[in-house]
Amino acid sequence: MLKEKALHYHKFPKPGKIDIVPTKNCISQSDLSLAYTPGVAEPCREIEKDPQTAYDYTGKGNLVAVITDGTAVLGLGDIGPLAGKPVMEGKALLFKRFADINSYDIEVDQTDPAEFIKIVKALEPTFGGINLEDISSPRCFEIEEKLKEIMDIPVFHDDQHGTAVIGAAAVLNGLEIADKKPENCKVVLTGPGAAGVAIARHLINCGFMEENIFAYDSKGVLYKGRKDLKSPYHSFLFRDTEKRTLIELFENADVFIGTSVKGMVTEEMITRMAPNPVILPMANPDPEIPYETVVKVRPDAMAGTGRSDYPNQVNNVLGFPAIFRGALDVRARKITENMKMAATHALMRVAKMPALKSVLDVYGLKELEFGRNYLIPKPFDPRVLVEVAASVGSAAMEEGVSRISIDIEKYKKDLTERFVHE
């Protein structure tokens, strides 16, 4: 049934999920002379004299590219750029729906990192920001790192940082409920790929001790002396430990985060965790351990998944639209660690706000209150955009990576008037 509905949704009333709509009238000879020749020459001249005026006279400042090579699409793997196009169109749809950001999806038939980097760099004049998507690990680290270095607009690999920003918000709010401090907590992470590595780094920035984060991949524990994983991007996760099994890692763990595969975690493993643990098995569509099992075996847990049909969904739509909204509106040159941290704390705040009636109505709920079953906001809460965008924009200005300064309180008021209708 889902297959038929999904295919029908993508095919009708016209194929795909994205359209292009003009922002100016073109219904008269006068309009035509302004939209194209001769009038269009005037903004061209201004931009030639001062490239920054492109933000004033074109759509660059509200345009993001969603770019992939199709090597790691959802849980489908390396299916190629063309087969990945529906996902990229979906991302563009979410940019527009949740942040009113225009987006083009760009599927690149090039898997060599150096060539891919050249292609994306060459697109810089067109866009206000680059959202990298579904690029396999560890190539994704090299690609993003280099593009951030050579480009003067924000480059953001959402599979890494979107998941990290939102996952960290859930973890930190969960630990607050459990009355635990990040620096005293043990974390177990399965699946240290793009998302897993970024989550670990972000947790360290949030106050977790590096030595208290333990990772496990398809070959086993990441321990010092292991020879088969030579990626420099994983070196910070290698631990001086005698533990070699996943069940050993779970002993007295306060947090579990899964970005791996179905069935990785057992009931016995979570029984070994410390009291009031945060358990986030986020593999899609099937978590590392079923949500029902978690709440049955560990009723004291703060549990979430990557799915929309259970509480505490770690969904990237809570991150990338609002993060880019804030970055674009201050014309940021990059997205920094401080900007990502600001986004995490903004999400934590929204979860503690009284629920909007519109949000309750969307989800068919009578009430929604911060607690074990509500650690992070719902995607349809418009205050996510307001709080995250304002926090990201403010952090960019404070760090000196913005091209312009704005009045943040006025900005929040403007966003509220545009997006919060209640």
**Active site residues per annotation:** 36, 91
Q: Tokens for 59, please give them.
A: 């759509």
Per DSSP, the three-state class of 145 is helix
Q: Crossing angle for the helix pair 383-399 and 85-99, nearest 10 degrees?
A: 90
Spatial contact of 272 and 251, defined as CB atoms under 8 Å apart: yes
Q: Tokens for 107, please give them.
A: 């599927």
Spatial contact of 304 and 313, defined as CB atoms under 8 Å apart: yes
Task: List all residues 6 or more positions away from 158 whose beta carbon is below 8 Å from its beta carbon.
Answer: 91, 131, 132, 133, 316, 319, 320
Among 273, 282, 227, 226, CA closest to 246: 273
Edge-to-edge strand ranges of the sheet holding 220-221: 220-221, 213-217, 187-190, 255-258, 278-281, 302-303
Cα separation, 264 vs 303, in Å, equals 16
Spatial contact of 195 and 215, defined as CB atoms under 8 Å apart: no
Tell how strand 63-68 and strand 155-157 pair up. Answer: unpaired
DSSP H helical segments within 17-84, as ranges? 29-35, 41-49, 54-57
Spatial contact of 196 and 215, defined as CB atoms under 8 Å apart: yes
Distances (CA, A) of 121 to 61, 129, 422: 17, 11, 42
Examine residue 154 and say whether the peptide bond preceding it is cis (omega within 30 degrees of 0): no
Per DSSP, the three-state class of 221 is strand
Examine residue 285 and say whether the peptide bond preceding it is cis (omega within 30 degrees of 0): yes
Cα separation, 260 vs 245, in Å, equals 16
Q: For the chain, how many helices (H) and strands (E)?
A: 17, 10
Q: Tokens for 344, please give them.
A: 């995490």
Cα separation, 306 vs 51, in Å, equals 41
